[in-house]
A and B are shown apart, each in its own frame.
Chain A
Amino acid sequence: MSRKSQQARDVTRREFVHASAAAAAALALPGARTPVRRADTLRIGLVGCGGRGTGAAKDCLTSSERVELVAIGDLFPDRVAECRTNLARMATEDSSGGLKTKIKVDDAHAFSGFDAYQKVIGSQLDVVLLATPPAFRARHLAAAIEAGKHVFMEKPVAVDPVGVRSVIASADRAAQKGLAIVAGTQRRHDAGYRAAMQRIHDGAIGDIVSAQVYWNQGGLWMKPRQPQWSDVEWQIRNWLYFTWLSGDHIVEQHIHNIDVANWALGAHPVKAVGVGGRQWRTDPAYGHIYDHFAIDFEYPNGAHVLSMCRQIDGTASHVAERIVGTRGTSDAHSVIEGAAPWSWDAQTPRTNPYVQEHADLIASIRASKPLNEGRQVAETTLSAIMGREAAYTGKEITWDELLNAQQDLVPADVQFGPMPVAPVAMPGQTALARSWRSA
């Protein structure tokens, strides 16, 4: 390590000590350290302390009684400190007072560094919430299942076929061990989607012949590079924009809509052809990912699904799914038109799906009927990767060749330091078999 980056790290550490002292003071709330633990209380740990991870912790604590957050971890000390401040704020803002007694993270159980996840998992947990950038998910999941923990994990769950194969293996192991895995594809836990999908599966729109799925929107956040950041730190802090970290936006974001197509068809695609490119978001500050894709997926029954996603400012936004059958169509959550029309009654309360997914997880653990969404979300992740690779390579990509592909984008041992930015994928030239080793 260079002297300069050592100094930078020392500064960061000092700032962290300062910030965590403030956070600790803020956390000293009445009831926050009650030592009583009922035998059936589930101990929760969080890996990945960003806005979504902290939000997932809140959703989990809100979802169920007798759950408590006891450990948190993140690569970056500043994010850990920020999370502790936000947990204190969460407890203060909660008018019911219920969260205050459920947040029990002390100084000794707030971890940072590349091994923070191991320390969280080692904190006598029952359930671990995995919410880091997707690159690390497969390894974190494997470690959690190995240690016998139930898991909630954010989507996507991998960025490459190697990661997908690992998640499938972990899901199988979880099934053997009686462990639950729930994924952050929250539409699967949304009452409207579930009601519409039940009807679709019961034949309300006949046989599904095609679908269209969209996630078109503007650009997302970016953190300007700071001089003290190494290549790797800059990339991880801007993880959206690097394929090895996020999977590209078709995988990171559009996965939700592709998951709905897989759900409706009860299958994953068998092949894909697609186009995509990096036309507008070309500044190096945005890494090397594309800003638009359009993919034609073919399913086992011959149905074709058009998938379209875009992150370009000033363009028409559209986030939706449309399922087309021989006897009708559906938006997959609120309306069915055709031979058996139906619409969701707007007066029916619709629980927040981000909370419901945790309620379902906890209830399944307590009933000893653990949900295991591991394979399902791994297959949806691979479906999205299939779309990406169809566009990146310009080739027709089949499921079998992708599932078995030697594509390995995440370095075996990620550490802070230099890392060149891989070139923007070029259709006709980029190969499906790619490895971080040859970058």
Chain B
Amino acid sequence: MLMAAKISLLLLAQNAPYRDSIPGTLVRFEMMPVPGDPPLWIGKTEVTWDEYDVWAFRLDLTPRERSSGVDATARPSRPYGAPDRGFGHHGYPALAMTYFAAQSYCAWLSAKTGKKYRLPSDAEWTRAARLGLGADSVLTPERRDALAWHAGNARAKAHPAAAKAADALGLHDMLGNVAEWVTGTDSGGPPVVRGGSWNDPPARVGPTVRARQTPDWNETDPQFPKSRWWLADAPFVGFRIVREP
């Protein structure tokens, strides 16, 4: 009975933005609806360090749990250095994580919240980006500057989430800032990052831009095996989450 009521409420709310939090913390994030089939929600911003740190640095555990190593879920190794590259932390997009780490974060967040969070598919990301730009909208240089941090305006660093204007769906930084991990394209193939980043020239920032990971994204990790969690040379890669109803 209660469950049925919950589901109908959920269906009613499908077209509404909502705010969620990571249980046991004060960290909140916002999800925006993406019309279409299937309907889904997508993060209003790229996942920030505020969110990512809770998982990556086990801030949801007590100090005692942390030092005894009781935590059963796989979490990132401790980076030897500053993964945020000194760009900024609070309110900035998390960056330099592997695809595996981004996926693992989603699995942890889902278990933590009881909701089904995951990375967008390539097609879902494209749908959100296109709707965000509007059907008849062309990405003029002026519009790109208003929406996106790219190599022409970012001064060689990532910027706080949502410092640029929202698009028509209310999403920030779909284009630029950090490029965003999505699962592979519908025709298969490896995961890609979408949208371009602060590190890309303006022409490489847009709704159709895709990039595949190359060896130089993790060349200078001095360990072998190299980290499966962090990319030593890709401070331009991040992600945002989606949720299915």
Contact = CB atoms under 8 A, between A and B. Distances in A.
Interface of A: 51-52, 54-59, 86, 89-90, 186, 216-224, 253, 283, 285-286, 313-314, 316-320, 352-354
Nearest to B58: A313
Contacts of A223: 69
Contacts of B67: 222, 224, 283, 285-286
| Candidate in B80, B81, B222 with the most chain A CB atoms within 10 angstroms | B222
B77 A221 contact: yes
Nearest to A85: B225
A354 B220 contact: yes
A217 B81 contact: yes
Contact-residue size bin, chain B (C-beta under 8 Å from the other chain):
20 to 34
B234 to A, nearest CB: 14
Contacts, number: 69
A56 B222 contact: yes
A338 B222 CA distance: 34
B78 interface: yes
A18 to B, nearest CB: 21
Nearest to B69: A224
B212 to A, nearest CB: 15
A343 to B, nearest CB: 10
Given A224-B68, A285-B67, 15 more contacts: A51-B224, A55-B222, A55-B226, A219-B78, A220-B78, A222-B67, A222-B69, A224-B67, A224-B69, A313-B59, A317-B84, A317-B86, A317-B89, A352-B219, A354-B222
B223 A319 contact: no
B141 interface: no
A47 to B, nearest CB: 16
- What are the 5 A-B residue pairs with the smallest beta carbon separation, nearest first? A317-B82, A51-B223, A224-B69, A55-B224, A54-B224
Nearest to A56: B222
Contacts of A222: 67, 69
B63 interface: yes
B100 interface: no
B77 to A, nearest CB: 7
Given A217-B82, A285-B67, A319-B86, A314 B59 contact: yes
B18 interface: no
A59 B222 contact: yes
A390 to B, nearest CB: 24
Interface string B66-107: 011100000001111111101001000000000000000000
Given A220-B78, A224-B68, A317-B89, A58 B224 contact: yes
A127 B53 CA distance: 42
